[in-house]
Chain A
Amino acid sequence: MQLRLPDLSEGAEDAVITLWHAGETDRVIKGKDLVEVTTDKATFDIPVPCDGILVKIFKKKGEKVKTGEDMAEIQEDRS
């Protein structure tokens, strides 16, 4: 499952990744904070969308990300 930057504002600007709460290969739990992005005057926390393993981070801390762009890949637990 790809985690993408949500639409934070109409005509959205870029955001910057300012904090990853987990690293690659970490187990992540649905609903917990996963990544913080920051625009000019706001930080925005994005939660883990599903239980699983964070297999890949595409955007590291300090990198810019655009709306809809992939930030990470999560391998979802099989039920």
Chain B
Amino acid sequence: MWAISRNTAALRMFFRKDTVKICDLGIVGYEDALHFQDRLLRRRIEKKAPDTLIMVEHDPVVTLGRLAERNSIIDGDYFERTGIPVVPSGRGGKITYHSPGQLVLYPIVDLGEKKRDIAFYIDFLEKTVSRGLNRLGVPAGRVREKRGVWIRGKKIAFIGIAVKRWVTFHGVAVNINNDITPFSYMHPCGERDIRVTSAKEWAGREIDMNTARKVFAGQFEKDFRDEYAEPASKRGIDDNAVKIA
């Protein structure tokens, strides 16, 4: 199960008594990471795995979420020329781009035992990513009526999630050191005239990826504990996932 990582030095799992297990896959292809997510998702649904945060960097790839439109790509020739594959994805959201230097967080967490609210969960992801970037010296934050994480009108983190039996998969991609040029050949998230940035571009220097990994892992653990520690039963939430008459 762990052999998918070519960057074995970066392959780490921390077994702690904390609320979330951290699983760092290093740099892996999108499809391989998807298979890994699927396996962990099924185990989480069956209560055979704990809440887990997968951290990964992907080989260059464009992914099309469920609501991606055909005209999201401005210059398809660019992606053919550069050999960057364009693949469909079962996540929410529209089009985005992944490559090494971008840190992707895939939380496989069971909201069914906690707070069953997808908008609340997306808010949580945006807040925890904003705080992580702030700790790296990047003053990013949320923008009213817009999804993702932003800095001075430029988007730095992109969200697209999926939920099955109230267990989450897919997640959020944060531009740290990655080349952001390919974003200019598409309408990221289906938004025209959007400007994209990275932590590196903001800081004017490379950000140490190991430091970034530790910061985001720690921030996610803390925020998840703070936001989701209380079980659903104490919040008075109905246990029925689907209301049926």
Q: Which residues of A line the B interface, CB within 8 A?
A: 1-4, 6-13, 16, 18-19, 33, 36, 38-47, 49, 68
Query: Number of B interface residues, CB 8 Å?
Result: 25
**In the complex, which residues of chain A have a beta carbon less than 8 angstroms from the beta carbon of B242?**
3-4, 6, 46-47, 49
Whether A42 contacts B92 in the complex (CB less than 8 A), given A10-B117, A18-B66, comes out as yes
Nearest B residue to A3 via CB reads: B244
The distance in angstroms between the C-alpha atoms of A11 and B123, with both chains bound, is: 14
The interface-forming segment of B101-109, B161-169, B210-218, B226-234 is B161-169
- A6-B243, A41-B159, A49-B242 known; 6 new pairs, CB 8 Å cut-off, are A16-B67, A33-B164, A36-B90, A40-B67, A42-B91, A45-B163
**In the complex, which residues of chain B have a beta carbon less than 8 angstroms from the beta carbon of A45?**
162-165
Instruction: Tell me if B118 counts as interface (CB < 8 A to partner A).
Output: yes
Highest count of chain B CB atoms <10 Å: which of A3, A18, A38, A46 = A38
Q: Which of B48-103 contact A (CB under 8 A)?
A: 66-67, 90-93
Asked whether B244 lies within 8 Å of A43 as measured between CB atoms, the reply is no
Nearest A residue to B122 via CB reads: A41
**In the complex, which residues of chain A have a beta carbon less than 8 angstroms from the beta carbon of B117?**
8-10
Smallest distance from the beta carbon of A9 to chain B beta carbons, Å? Answer: 4
Asked whether B163 lies within 8 Å of A40 as measured between CB atoms, the reply is no
Nearest A residue to B161 via CB reads: A42
Whether A41 contacts B147 in the complex (CB less than 8 A), given A9-B120, A10-B119, comes out as yes
The contact sample of 19 A-B pairs, CB cut-off 8 A, is: A3-B242, A6-B241, A6-B242, A7-B243, A8-B119, A10-B120, A36-B90, A38-B92, A39-B119, A40-B67, A41-B93, A41-B159, A42-B118, A42-B122, A43-B162, A45-B163, A47-B165, A47-B241, A47-B242
**In the complex, which residues of chain A have a beta carbon less than 8 angstroms from the beta carbon of B92?**
38-43
Asked whether B161 lies within 8 Å of A2 as measured between CB atoms, the reply is no
The distance in angstroms between the C-alpha atoms of A49 and B116, with both chains bound, is: 18
Whether A4 contacts B147 in the complex (CB less than 8 A), given A18-B66, A42-B162, comes out as no
Nearest B residue to A34 via CB reads: B242
The distance in angstroms between the C-alpha atoms of A1 and B242, with both chains bound, is: 12
Nearest A residue to B244 via CB reads: A49
Nearest A residue to B167 via CB reads: A45
Smallest distance from the beta carbon of A36 to chain B beta carbons, Å? Answer: 8
Smallest distance from the beta carbon of B111 to chain A beta carbons, Å? Answer: 11
**In the complex, which residues of chain A have a beta carbon less than 8 angstroms from the beta carbon of B122?**
41-42
Smallest distance from the beta carbon of B72 to chain A beta carbons, Å? Answer: 15
Asked whether A38 lies within 8 Å of B243 as measured between CB atoms, the reply is no
Q: Give 1 or 0 for each of B233-245: 1 = CB within 8 Å of chain A CB.
A: 0000000011111
Highest count of chain B CB atoms <10 Å: which of A18, A41, A45 = A41
